[in-house]
Structures are given as C-alpha cells and as structure tokens.
Amino acid sequence: MEKDCGVKEYKILFVCLGNICRSPAAEEVMRVLLAKEGLGDAVKVDSAGLIAYHEGELPDSRMRMHAYLRGYSLSHRSRPIRKSDFKDFDMIIGMDSNNVEDLTELAPDDESRSRVFKMTRFLQTKRADSVPDPYYGGTEGFELVLDLLEDSCSGLLAFVRQRLSCR
C-alpha cells in the first residue's frame, strides 16, 4: 500500500559520466527500496549522464550481471542530462566530486545548484569519498559500487522521508 506523504511526487535524478554503470544502478537500487517501502508512487527516480556518448544504450553488461545477482534488473537506456532536469528534479545526485562539480557548473541558477548532492553524502555504514567508476576495473569494482549504492540509497531514503514528512 502506498503511503500519503503530503506531496504528489518527489523526483530524484542520479548522474554519472556516461549513464551506463553507476547512475542506472543507483536508479534501480533506489527504485527497489522505494517499492519495498510503499513509496514508489510518491518518489520517482531516473538517471542521466554528463556525456551523450552512450545515449540509447543499456547499462554496461558487467554492471547488469552484478546487479542481477543481487536481484536488480537494469533496463534504463542511457541519456544525457538536460537543462530541464534542473527544474524537473528535486534532487540531482552525482556519483563523485567531478560529477558534482560538472553538475554545479551546468546548473542555470542558485536554486538549481542547491539541488545538487554527492551520493556518498548519504552513506550510513560504509566510508568512501565517491562511488568510483568501475568501467575499467574488474569484478571487485562493480561489487564495490553496488555495496556503496545499497548503503547510500538507504541513507537517501531516510533523507527523503524527512523531506516528505513520511513516517
């Protein structure tokens, strides 16, 4: 049963460089958490990349495989971030400091910049400065990304609950 959080919809956009590893994984981890908590109608998630190089592609096959082994299904098609995203989303979350810096520069105004966050801000039990790009690494890199995303999405859920005044 969906919970009434006093708002019609809250929107979160996850962003990494190419939108084929970290941000689509974050989108799906958060989507699963929201569904389990009955918040799937109240909170919408999406992901995008800072570059359009992979536009229209599915997430990296290695990321899909590692996510699948944890019960996630990554079917998002890569898209680049758009100026309108800064107005359409309540939060825009970069995976590392470079992503956050680029997003801050792309933001059209101070209000938009205030919507930019770093994913690791929401870590609860793990310690990391960023969610590292696993693209050029091995198995361990993809597993680490999923570990960090599961932890930080749990923290993000708590943060969003406070913003929505959900109990």
Active site residue 16: yes
Q: How far apart are CA 122 and CA 160, in angstroms?
A: 11
Spell out where 73-127 has E strands.
Answer: 91-94, 116-118
Neighbours of 62 (CB within 10 A): 17
Q: Which residues does residue 91 pair with via DSSP β-bridges, in sequence order?
A: 12
- Two tokens at 120? 């690791």
Active site residue 102: no
Q: Which of 22, 31, 64, 115 is catalytic?
A: 22
Ramachandran quadrant class, 38 (left: phi over 0; alpha: psi -120 to 50; beta: rest): left
Q: Which of 60, 85, 133, 151 is catalytic?
A: 133
Active site residue 90: no
**Residues labelled catalytic:** 16, 22, 133
